[in-house]
Structure 1
């Protein structure tokens, strides 16, 4: 009979450069393997590298640790970005070569997505005695200097190898300490499952494997495949061969389902309550610029956008929120960290509020020693806010009537054209652009485009000789 008695699950991302030893480390540590692990696919075996996310698990101190083995090849970064939505902590895998280009990019990704990092030094058996200990310490020192420039200044760097005695046991102790308490899990909320693989098992029918991102799912629930807008029903739930009645946020699951005609095209998708999640073509996100990204971040730039298991391209518009509207910002350097971003997508995605978003430039040369990760943030809203620019129009002060009234000219050639400016606030500026006073366009003066200005505060007549009248006009884009 299915049971609820399953260990607490913690998801650990294994990140690092290609051939650093991530899959070998997962194989060394794991006690349970899923259908997608250890490079089982024919494509991975023929090329000799990890091409997709691999999942396996082990138990420490009555807790289950799911290892998410991520591809290390630079061209597969978008697959690694998919994993960032489901991990609680990161193990950065470093080989004898030390920190390489892709290692550094994985470290940046870890900075964006987690507060917990452990460094695994692999293939240390390639260092022969009697110099092995010395070389390991030298490598630790070099890694420490790199970490000193990040938020991970005090993390452990642990050698681990199947050929060096006691290193596996020492690493498992460090892994257990990496997440000392229980990760924050919320069983409430609308169910949302990130599906990474879907296949047919003979005698059982369609099976989906994935991670519960939000809420709780139970046997008998009807869920919608969001990308296809078709429904299926949960027949069985398992987690590494343990049968369950239900699963909650953070759990790694295999779902036996009914109601599917075919499993084709069901990969990297999401499951949710029918009708609750719909694909969208734009959203608003917070923005945390990644300091290592060297390209300019200017409104209108088109970059790759990764949210949950989906990656597409989108056009970014930066703005500063002002009530229900937003003031356009040309470049993210023009504003403080409270900037928001309107993301207009080329392909519709599922992006519930609160979802983590990574913006990157994946078409950069992966061999170049430059960071491709540009922005990190979270979805805060759907649709497109009203974003405006300030347009400036200038005239001149012709003469002073009294200490509260001026006559101006030059905004438009006729009094009829002045109608749209009546009642608008204006600033009186000196010739060098410095501020003098504030007033309002009160009424036309004659028929040649002159106008009356009423000042907010009395002022001396001498203040206004050769002064400028400036209007600030809100123009929506």
Structure 2
């Protein structure tokens, strides 16, 4: 529930995203509903007009009397801002940016064609970015009049079936978007242009906080701070604006060519990051695997950059414990994952119907170029280089940004704080019993391995004895293991039939001699070495719990 409105905020702005497949009639619908157009509405871009498709976000609005549940909070006027999103597959990153500034999604469906590829992608984006949706069956005038009602009813049933497995319910609910004027000001800028004699205008949607005339605002990507000279909402001058409002800010002495799309904020409230830790959830419609070290298109707000990903989770036996949704604990140990774990993962199928699936998984994102974004913002990972003509979902995962690394040398200063480990397991074999309290092992290390690094690490024999590595034995990678409790008689018996017998090579053999194991009664006894190695530990230490 939103906080009560102040006298200065008697107009409630409500952002409605108009999303759908290309040529479903989104822009025509927005034009028909709107009474006021912004400087970027109804495909004013010359390229849009030339190509006949929407290429960028468009903004227009209309106002109505508020419903009773809004009037109780002091609302005198409900202004609906329509965010007209492109529908072409190649513009999905623009659609994602538009979806993150809306309160409600209007999914526009061409009634003659039904759900299409980008309709489905828009539905996925909507499920991630907003909680409310209205389905619009458009182009009903193209249906023969005598068959129109029946066709509409059939499409309505199809859409109900489509939405059965989503979070959307086909029923009317009173809804009041959250508006919080407190906290630092943050606005997503989608257009920037100059007005002769007045200055540069940055238009966008306020994501958090509030702004007033003469406030200082900062463009973090350019490290520029400017004073607000004037403000407008759909051509109407205003003195202040709050979260959710569509706003134009005029500043002086700023070149609009420097900013196509980005953020403005309260000075020093937003930081540029080179890497981030996010909570992560795979989008079920994405059919491919999510592998560590793979590259994805990472969208944060209006910005999309390439980034490399590494997945991790809490280690067993804590896989099912609840984790905080709004912060990350650097004090805990985390288990490295080769890929995001799902119930379909081969490793988990072997563990039964519930599998070994963590309740929460995280990802480390390393960006190819730094980005400015607020903490706890929505993050979406995509494979936008997938063929746009393939009937497949390109949205791979989503999450919330929990921590960001501001230092460009983050691999040295930031990552060592992240305690993500890999489980290492080596297996060798007992060569022979040395005495009652020690054995000689082989095949655990390579000949060139510095065994001294492993001295003191605990090992376990397949017969149950536990011991520790004492050092190397000879020059061939063999080693000595101390068994404090003594070697079991049964173990000695298993190994007792082994003896070394040197035989000279036969007359046509190229080898001069060979060493073979004899004794049909002997059985191998294996040596297991398990340890942790932390991924970002510069010293590459081996840890055993």
2:135 to 104, 119, 124: 119
Q: What corresponds to 1:367 in structure 2? A: 389
Cα distance per residue 1:134-162 (max 9 Å; x no partner): 1110111122222223222x326xxxxxx
Q: Distance in 2 between matches of 1:276 and 1:461?
A: 70
Question: Which secondary structure state, in structure 2, belongs to the residue aligned with residue 354 of structure 1?
Answer: coil
How far 1:6 sits from its partner (Å)?
4.4
Residues 445, 135 of structure 1: CA spacing in aligned structure 2 closer, same or farther, 3 A cutoff?
Answer: closer
Q: Distance in 2 between matches of 1:119 and 1:427?
A: 63
The alignment status of 1:191 with 2:206, answered yes or no, reads no
Q: Distance in 1 between matches of 2:446 and 2:146?
A: 90
Question: Which secondary structure state, in structure 1, belongs to the residue aligned with residue 228 of structure 2?
Answer: strand
Q: Distance in 2 between matches of 1:270 and 1:139?
A: 40
Residues 134, 226 of structure 1: CA spacing in aligned structure 2 closer, same or farther, 3 A cutoff?
Answer: same
The alignment status of 1:332 with 2:332, answered yes or no, reads no
How far 1:250 sits from its partner (Å)?
1.6
Q: Does the Cα contact within 8 Å between 1:408 and 1:452 map onto a contact in 2?
A: no
Cα distance per residue 1:371-406 (max 9 Å; x no partner): 11111111111134354322222234555988xx66
CA RMSD after TM alignment? 2.7
Q: Distance in 2 between matches of 1:87 and 1:401?
A: 75
Q: Does the Cα contact within 8 Å between 1:52 and 1:71 map onto a contact in 2?
A: yes
How far 1:307 sits from its partner (Å)?
0.6
Q: Say which one has the larger Rg.
A: 2
The alignment status of 1:251 with 2:266, answered yes or no, reads no
Q: What corresponds to 1:59 in structure 2? A: 63
For residues 262-301 of structure 1, what are the structure 2 equivalents within 5 Å?
Answer: 262-301=255-294
Cα distance per residue 1:424-444 (max 9 Å; x no partner): 3444446xxxxx57x452745
Q: Does the Cα contact within 8 Å between 2:189 and 2:203 map onto a contact in 1?
A: yes
Q: Does the Cα contact within 8 Å between 1:58 and 1:66 map onto a contact in 2?
A: yes
Q: Does the Cα contact within 8 Å between 2:470 and 2:479 map onto a contact in 1?
A: no
Question: Which secondary structure state, in structure 2, belongs to the residue aligned with residue 102 of structure 1?
Answer: helix
Q: Distance in 2 between matches of 1:137 and 1:459?
A: 80
How far 1:20 sits from its partner (Å)?
0.6
How far 1:273 sits from its partner (Å)?
2.7
Q: What corresponds to 1:33 in structure 2? A: 37
Residues 239, 427 of structure 1: CA spacing in aligned structure 2 closer, same or farther, 3 A cutoff?
Answer: farther
The alignment status of 1:106 with 2:139, answered yes or no, reads no
The alignment status of 1:206 with 2:200, answered yes or no, reads yes
Q: What corresponds to 2:17 in structure 1? A: 13
Consecutive unaligned residues in structure 2, runs of 5 or more? 1-6, 67-76, 316-330, 346-356, 406-414, 495-524, 537-545
Q: Distance in 1 between matches of 2:391 and 2:94?
A: 20
Q: What corresponds to 2:422 in structure 1? A: 389
Q: Does the Cα contact within 8 Å between 1:33 and 1:56 map onto a contact in 2?
A: yes
For residues 110-149 of structure 1, what are the structure 2 equivalents within 5 Å?
Answer: 110-149=126-165
Q: Does the Cα contact within 8 Å between 1:417 and 1:449 map onto a contact in 2?
A: no
Cα distance per residue 1:322-358 (max 9 Å; x no partner): 7455432111136535121111111211122101111
Q: Does the Cα contact within 8 Å between 1:233 and 1:259 map onto a contact in 2?
A: no
Q: Distance in 2 between matches of 1:454 and 1:289?
A: 48
Residues 255, 133 of structure 1: CA spacing in aligned structure 2 closer, same or farther, 3 A cutoff?
Answer: same
How far 1:302 sits from its partner (Å)?
1.1
How far 1:210 sits from its partner (Å)?
0.6
Q: Distance in 1 between matches of 2:80 and 2:280?
A: 31
Residues 82, 463 of structure 1: CA spacing in aligned structure 2 closer, same or farther, 3 A cutoff?
Answer: farther
2:530 to 451, 458, 471: 471
Consecutive unaligned residues in structure 1, runs of 5 or more? 157-176, 431-435
Q: Distance in 1 between matches of 2:446 and 2:58?
A: 71
- Which deviates more from structure 2 when the two are superposed, residues 13-22 or residues 289-298? 289-298
Q: Distance in 2 between matches of 1:21 and 1:82?
A: 20
Q: What corresponds to 1:160 in structure 2? A: none
How far 1:453 sits from its partner (Å)?
3.8
Residues 419, 257 of structure 1: CA spacing in aligned structure 2 closer, same or farther, 3 A cutoff?
Answer: same
Q: Does the Cα contact within 8 Å between 1:283 and 1:342 map onto a contact in 2?
A: yes
How far 1:86 sits from its partner (Å)?
0.9
Question: Which secondary structure state, in structure 2, belongs to the residue aligned with residue 148 of structure 1?
Answer: helix
2:299 to 293, 298, 306: 306
Q: What corresponds to 1:170 in structure 2? A: none
2:482 to 452, 455, 462: 452
Q: What corresponds to 1:172 in structure 2? A: none
Q: What corresponds to 1:167 in structure 2? A: none
Question: Which secondary structure state, in structure 1, belongs to the residue aligned with residue 370 of structure 2?
Answer: strand
Q: Distance in 1 between matches of 2:420 and 2:293?
A: 13
Q: Distance in 2 between matches of 1:459 and 1:83?
A: 69
Q: Does the Cα contact within 8 Å between 2:469 and 2:480 map onto a contact in 1?
A: no
Q: Distance in 2 between matches of 1:387 and 1:126?
A: 58
Q: What corresponds to 1:150 in structure 2? A: 166
Q: What corresponds to 2:453 in structure 1? A: 420
Q: Distance in 2 between matches of 1:198 and 1:340?
A: 36
How far 1:127 sits from its partner (Å)?
1.4
Q: Does the Cα contact within 8 Å between 2:452 and 2:472 map onto a contact in 1?
A: no
